[in-house]
Amino acid sequence: SQIMKGGYTHFMEKEIFEQPETIAQTMQGRVKITPLSPMKYAVPGIDPYLMPRVRMGGLVDHVSTIRRSRRLMFIACGTSYHAAMACRQTVEELTEIPVVLELASDLLDRRCPIFRDDTCVFVSQSGETADTFRALEYAKACGALCVGVTNTVGSAIARNTHCGIHINAGAEIGVASTKAYTSQIVAITMMALVLSEDAISKRQRRDEIIDSLCQLPDMVRRTLKLNDQIKQLAAELKDEQSCLMFGRGRNYATAMEAALKVKEVSYMHSEGINAGEMKHGPLALVDDKLPIVVVSTMDSMHSKMAGVIQQLMARNGRLIVLANEEDDEMVDIVAGKYPIIQVPRVDDALQAVVNIIPLQLLSYHLTTLRGFNVDQPRNLAKSVTVT
Ligand code: G6P
């Protein structure tokens, strides 16, 4: 098993560090880098700028049906649900179709109305999660088009959906999902790009996202170099009972996923909070002891998050700020008072992929420093096959 871990101590550690490669695998054979070097891909007689840059073989027969659907529903559990959360805005922006997110168990509890002109996207690493599978059976019975986003060829969800995408991240062994999360975000983003390919008005936006996709493996590789800094930070936090994760917009998903990672493997209580709701309750928790990780990279939420940080500072909050490398404004605000984790900047649509990396590392190091087995957390299973 030491060989299977490729020199790493734990599967979770291995899976965190292989993300530059697994993200590239998700895009392999599906994304063309045309505008960066159009001539290289030129086909005689065809304007290289008009060639589709993203292809998803598993969707081609159903793309026009999905484009005509009245609503896109993403249905999942756990980390897979957070991946859908991280992509919601991108899917809305590119397709202009209303997008809703559903926890599979809650959808079933409510017997949520689903219609024939809905497209339901089932996101599941294992493809075997019972709640998600039951929701698939329910949606099929309602007559919806069902799409799978899975990491397991031949799994129950892959076999029973009408079409789908394999994320190709390779087998994930650690109970806490890491590389599947980042590949799910990449795969759903590619799906949104394919769905909007007929919209001329979105072409420039699509090109920006695709250019950023092409650079993503390198950006993730660079982000992993923060490991020593994060290990140090984990040593400072290891005896805490609780920590909060603040984010908004696409990075509310980052906050939720980071909190899930920390609680599931290190057993430290952690809560993901939408910073937009801060003044409606969470502010009462702020004091000079409770650690608060604030995700405030330079996406469209940047100025709002700068305001959040100033309000937390005014209440003597104990902050850890996650910001971009070139964000001098944030460095000035933090002014050496708090630790600052600086990550590379990528397109807004993909910043959540980069942002989760240091927080995956934080949960990993917190767990080993607290003396727990990061690959086998108590009471949890990799694949939950009961409802
Ligand atoms: C379990 C795992 C989680 C996972 C969730 C959904 O709770 O411990 O890591 O996110 O199931 O699993 P799936 O295979 O459907 O993505």
Flag whether pLDDT at 40 surpasses 60.
Answer: no
Flag whether pLDDT at 345 surpasses 90.
Answer: yes
Would you say the CB of residue 124 lies under 6 angstroms from ligand 1?
A: yes
Give the Å distance between the CA of 361 and the centre of ligand 1: 19
Would you say the CB of residue 152 lies under 6 angstroms from ligand 1?
A: no
Amino acid 46: pLDDT? 57
Burial 232-243 (b: 16+ CB within 10 A, else e): ebbeebbebeeb
Q: Give the pLDDT confidence of 115-124 residue by residue, as tens digits.
A: 999 999 999 9
Amino acid 377: pLDDT? 84
Reported as a pLDDT band with limits 50, 70 and 90, residue 11 is very high
> Contact 35/49 with Cβ under 8 angstroms?
yes
Q: Give the pLDDT confidence of 191-206 residue by residue, as tens digits.
A: 999 999 999 999 999 9
Flag whether pLDDT at 224 surpasses 90.
Answer: yes
Q: Give the pLDDT confidence of 170-187 residue by residue, as tens digits.
A: 999 998 999 999 999 999
Q: Which helix (H) or strand (E) holds 21?
A: helix 19-27
Q: Could you give the CA distance from residue 255 to residue 248 in angstroms, rounded to a whole number?
A: 8
Give the number of the atom of ligand 1 that is nearest the alpha carbon of residue 176: 9
Burial 331-341 (b: 16+ CB within 10 A, else e): eebbeeebbbb
Give the number of the atom of ligand 1 that is nearest the alpha carbon of residue 152: 14
Reported as a pLDDT band with limits 50, 70 and 90, residue 4 is confident
Question: What letter does residue 266 receive in the DSSP assignment?
Answer: I
| Residue of 177, 179, 264, 386 to test ligand 1 pocket, by largest number of atoms within 8 Å of CB | 177
Q: Give the pLDDT confidence of 63-111 residue by residue, as tens digits.
A: 999 999 999 999 999 999 999 999 999 999 999 999 999 999 999 999 9
Site of tokens 């999942």: 76
| Residue of 16, 75, 77 to test ligand 1 pocket, by largest number of atoms within 8 Å of CB | 77
Percent of the chain's residues with pLDDT above 70: 94
Would you say the CB of residue 125 lies under 6 angstroms from ligand 1?
A: yes
Give the Å distance between the CA of 154 and the centre of ligand 1: 17
> Contact 194/53 with Cβ under 8 angstroms?
no
Give Cα separations from 330 to 81, 90, 320 (angstroms). Answer: 30, 25, 12
Give the Å distance between the CA of 232 and the centre of ligand 1: 29
Atom 15 of ligand 1, residue of closest alpha carbon: 124
Atom 7 of ligand 1, residue of closest alpha carbon: 78
Mean pLDDT, the chain, whole residue set? 93
Reported as a pLDDT band with limits 50, 70 and 90, residue 48 is low
End-to-end alpha carbon distance in the chain: 31
Q: Could you give the CA distance from residue 35 to residue 219 in angstroms, rounded to a whole number?
A: 19
Segment 28-41 mean pLDDT: 67
Q: Give the pLDDT confidence of 143-175 residue by residue, as tens digits.
A: 999 999 999 999 999 999 999 999 999 999 998
Q: CA angle, 13 as apex, 244 and 289 as ends, to 5°?
A: 20
Give the Å distance between the CA of 77 and the centre of ligand 1: 6
Give the residue from 165, 153, 164, 168 showing the smallest Cα distance to 25: 168
ipTM: 0.96
Amino acid 184: pLDDT? 98
Residue 375 dihedral angles phi and psi, to the nearest 5°: -85, -20
Give the Å distance between the CA of 79 and the centre of ligand 1: 6
Reported as a pLDDT band with limits 50, 70 and 90, residue 307 is very high
Amino acid 248: pLDDT? 97
Give Cα separations from 360 to 7, 13, 126 (angstroms). Answer: 19, 9, 20
Amino acid 158: pLDDT? 97
Would you say the CB of residue 126 lies under 6 angstroms from ligand 1?
A: yes
Q: Could you give the CA distance from residue 278 to residue 310 in angstroms, rounded to a whole number?
A: 13
Flag whether pLDDT at 23 surpasses 60.
Answer: yes
Give the Å distance between the CA of 88 and the centre of ligand 1: 19
pTM of this prediction?
Answer: 0.95
Amino acid 383: pLDDT? 82
